[in-house]
Homo-oligomer: A and B are copies of this chain.
């Protein structure tokens, strides 16, 4: 992890809604001192409640040495919250003007060596860097709810971000049990939320058009694609759906479907170049492992996952409705 990590001793969390509190719980479980700031009434109590709720899961995952829920202090101002912090995680509501105002205040009071990570779901880091005195230390570090359990964090550099800051941030988030994914190009919504948002918008259309209820949409995901996506993502999933010839066959068979009105989203043209990107991407991802071996492993995983799902969610209304027979 390198000596860079030694520099991060204290973290500050600005904005303590669901995401901010998720970060606090993760940082505390990893043995950090956490300083928090949130101007809303009752924030500290809500955070304590949220951390208490997260703690049993964190104990099960494993606490770091010295981890203690009491190593949390709320400060009355941003200045006092950030002045000694080595990493500052910003989680205020998703409004550009508000984020920029808060980041300007953080920028004015933070140590020069501090890393500032914004949890923004959608705003590009270069936009957030506008007007900062030290924009080189700002990155997007976008987590997923529940932040104290899910490992993904998207790291996005802005035009003015220092590469060393990205390197230090990657090491830090890895050291707290996360899987940092460096996004190659900054775009609105980054990467994961673009995928989710596409599915979400289609889901809204389907409910709006009377094709399905919200529960039916959920059931359509859980018992099909959801079980698959927890194991291998859409590309490797389709690589296996193509039989022995993998993604190459899959694109031949289902490529033409991209022309069909299967969603309200228009697909890109499936050029030879794009095909090659996808096929070689899947093949290099699979590496030396054959499709048959991947299938075996997928099957073992799915059988276990299926029994896990059944043991946890047998009584949801969606399932009941599906299972109950007249």
A301 touches B306 (CB 8 A): no
Chain A 212-254, CB within 8 Å of chain B: the 1/0 string? 1111111111111111111111111010111100000000011
B181 touches A322 (CB 8 A): yes
Nearest CB in chain B: distance from A141 CB, A: 13
Q: Does A98 contact B (CB under 8 A)?
A: no
Known A278-B207, A312-B300; contact A233-B218, beta-carbon cutoff 8 A: yes
A212 touches B235 (CB 8 A): no
Q: Does A305 contact B (CB under 8 A)?
A: yes
Looking at A27-35, A108-116, A182-190, the stretch in contact with chain B turns out to be: A182-190
What residue of chain B has the Cβ atom nearest to residue A292's Cβ?
B53
Chain A 181-214, CB within 8 Å of chain B: the 1/0 string? 1011101110111111111111111111111111
Q: How large is the interface on A (under 10, 10 to 19, 20 to 34, 35 or more residues)?
A: 35 or more
Bound-complex Cα distance A262 to B196 (A): 10
Partner among B121, B206, B257, B300 whose Cβ is within 8 Å of the Cβ of A191: B206
Nearest CB in chain B: distance from A197 CB, A: 4
Nearest CB in chain B: distance from A33 CB, A: 24
B195 touches A152 (CB 8 A): no
Looking at A63-71, A73-81, A125-133, A280-288, the stretch in contact with chain B turns out to be: A280-288
A220 touches B195 (CB 8 A): yes
Offer 11 A-B interface pairs, CB within 8 angstroms, sorted by A: A181-B220, A184-B216, A193-B262, A196-B234, A201-B268, A213-B281, A215-B235, A220-B233, A221-B233, A233-B318, A301-B313
